[in-house]
Amino acid sequence: MTRAWLAGVAAVAALVCLPVASLLVIAAQGSSGLWSHLAANVLPVALRDTLVLLAGVGVLVAVVGTGTAWLVTAHDFPGRRVLEWALLLPLAVPTYISAYAWLDILHPVGPVQGWIRAILGYSGPREFRLPDVRSMVGCILLLGLVLYPYVYLTARAMFFTQAAGLIEAARTLGERKVFRRVALPLARPAVAVGVSLALMEALNDIGASEFLGVRTMTVSVYSTWISRADLPGAAQIALAMLALVVGLVMMERWARRNQRYAAGQRPRPIGRNALRGWRAGLAMLACAVPVLLGFAAPATYLVVEAWKRIAFAGISPTLWSEALNTVLLASAATALVLLCGTVAAYAGRLHGRGGLLARATTLGYAVPGTVLAIGLLPLVAALDRGLIAAGLPAVLILGGSGAVLLAYMARFMAIATGGVESGFARIPPSYDHASRSLGQGPTGTFRRIHLPLSRPALVAVALLVFVDCAKELPATLLLRPLNVETLATHLYGEAARGTYEEAAIAALVIVAIGMAPVILLARQPRPRYPGTP
Partner 1 sequence: MKHLALGTALSFLAGAAAAQELNLYTTREPGLVEPLLDAFTASSGIEVNTIFLKEGLPERVEAEGDRSPADVLMTVDIGNLVDLVDRGLTQPVQSDVLEAAIPESMRDADGQWFALSLRARALYVAKDLGLTEFHYEDLADPEWKGRVCIRSGQHPYNVALTAAYIAHHGEAEAEAWLAGVHDNLARKAGGGDRDVARDIMGGLCDIGIANSYYVGQMLSGNGGPEQLEWVNAIRLVFPTFENGGTQINISGAAVAKHAPNRDEAVALLEYLVSPEAQKIYAEANFEHPVNATAAVSPLIVQFGDMTPDTITLTEVARNRKAASELAEKVGFDN
Partner 2 sequence: MELALDRVSRRFGGVQALSDVSLGVGRGEVVCLVGPSGCGKSTLLRLIAGVDRPDAGTISLLGRDITRVPPEDRHVGFMFQDYALFPHLSARDNILFGLRRRANADAMAEEIIRRLGIGHLVGRFPHMLSGGEQQRVALARALAPRPHVLLMDEPFSNLDRTLRDGIREETLAILAALEATVVMVTHDPEEALSSGDRVVLMRAGRVVQAGRGEDVYDRPESAYAAGFFCDFNRFDGVVERGAVATPFGPITAGFADGTAVQVLLRPQALHPADTGTAATVASVTLMGEIEQTRLRLACGPEVRLRSSRRHGLRQGEGVFLRADPAGVLIFPADAA
Residue ranges in 266-401 assigned as alpha helix (H): 277-291, 297-313, 318-350, 352-360, 369-389
Beta bridge pairs of residue 75: 273
Task: Report the Cα–Cα distance between both ends of the chain, in Å, rounded.
Answer: 27
Considering the complex, what minimum distance in angstroms separates the CB of residue 272 from partner 2? 22
Residue 526 touching partner 2 (CB under 8 A): no
AA letter at 161:
T
Binding partner 2 (rule: CB under 8 A), the pick from 121, 131, 391, 530 is 530
Residue 453 touching partner 2 (CB under 8 A): yes
Q: What is the C-alpha to C-alpha distance for residues 461 and 478, in angstroms, rounded to an integer?
A: 26
Binding partner 2 (rule: CB under 8 A), the pick from 98, 154, 435, 489 is 435
Residue 481 touching partner 1 (CB under 8 A): yes
Q: What is the C-alpha to C-alpha distance for residues 205 and 466, in angstroms, rounded to an integer?
A: 18
DSSP-derived secondary structure letter, 397: S
Binding partner 1 (rule: CB under 8 A), the pick from 79, 165, 213, 264 is 213
Residue 397 touching partner 1 (CB under 8 A): yes
The contact pattern for partner 1, residues 278-317, with x = CB under 8 A and - = no contact, is ------------------------------xx--x-----
Considering the complex, what minimum distance in angstroms separates the CB of residue 313 from partner 1? 8
Site for partner 1 in 327-346 (CB under 8 A): 328-329, 332, 335-336
Binding partner 1 (rule: CB under 8 A), the pick from 401, 417, 435, 445 is 401
- Helices 352-360 and 318-350 pack at an angle, to 10 degrees, of 150
Select 37 or 455, whichever has its Cβ closest to partner 1: 37
Q: What is the C-alpha to C-alpha distance for residues 385 and 459, in angstroms, rounded to an integer?
A: 37
Residue 247 touching partner 1 (CB under 8 A): no
Select 349 or 490, whichever has its Cβ closest to partner 1: 490
Residues 6+ positions from 444 with CB-CB distance below 8 Å = 435
Residue 40 touching partner 1 (CB under 8 A): yes
Of 2-10, 83-91, 347-355, 401-409, the segment contacting partner 1 by CB under 8 A is 401-409
Site for partner 2 in 393-432 (CB under 8 A): 428, 430-432
DSSP-derived secondary structure letter, 524: P
Binding partner 2 (rule: CB under 8 A), the pick from 151, 340, 449, 522 is 449
Judge contact between 318 and 113, C-beta under 8 A: no
In 10 A of CB 28, how many CB atoms?
11
Q: Of the candidates 487, 461, 453, 456, which has an alpha carbon nearest to the alpha carbon of residue 473?
A: 487
Binding partner 2 (rule: CB under 8 A), the pick from 437, 482, 483, 525 is 437
CA angle 12, 16, 17 (to 5 degrees): 115
Residue ranges in 173-260 assigned as alpha helix (H): 178, 184-204, 207-211, 217-222, 231-255
**Is 258 exposed, middle or buried, given 0-12, 13-18 or 19+ CB atoms closer than 10 A?**
exposed
Site for partner 1 in 84-113 (CB under 8 A): 103, 107-109
Could you say which of partner 2, partner 1, none residue 499 binds, taking C-beta under 5 to 8 angstroms by partner kind?
partner 1
Residue 126 touching partner 1 (CB under 8 A): yes
Q: What is the C-alpha to C-alpha distance for residues 383 and 402, in angstroms, rounded to an integer?
A: 11
Residue 205 touching partner 1 (CB under 8 A): no
Residue 472 touching partner 1 (CB under 8 A): no
Residue 529 touching partner 2 (CB under 8 A): yes
* DSSP symbols for 238-255: HHHHHHHHHHHHHHHHHH
Of 245-253, 273-281, 298-306, 523-531, the segment contacting partner 2 by CB under 8 A is 523-531
DSSP-derived secondary structure letter, 262: P
Binding partner 1 (rule: CB under 8 A), the pick from 137, 240, 248, 381 is 381
Residue 350 touching partner 2 (CB under 8 A): no
Number of residues that bind partner 2 (CB under 8 A): 25
CB-side exposure of 266: number of CA atoms within 13 Å? 3
The three state secondary structure string of 356-367 is: HHHHHCCHHHHC
Could you say which of partner 2, partner 1, none residue 255 binds, taking C-beta under 5 to 8 angstroms by partner kind?
none
Binding partner 2 (rule: CB under 8 A), the pick from 444, 500, 519, 520 is 444
Number of residues that bind partner 1 (CB under 8 A): 81
Could you say which of partner 2, partner 1, none residue 264 binds, taking C-beta under 5 to 8 angstroms by partner kind?
none
Q: What is the C-alpha to C-alpha distance for residues 110 and 315, in angstroms, rounded to an integer?
A: 25
Binding partner 2 (rule: CB under 8 A), the pick from 253, 433, 497, 526 is 433
Residue 430 touching partner 1 (CB under 8 A): no
Residue 41 touching partner 2 (CB under 8 A): no
| Residues of the shown chain interacting with partner 2 in the complex, contacts defined by CB under 8 A | 1-2, 428, 430-441, 444, 448-449, 452-453, 528-532
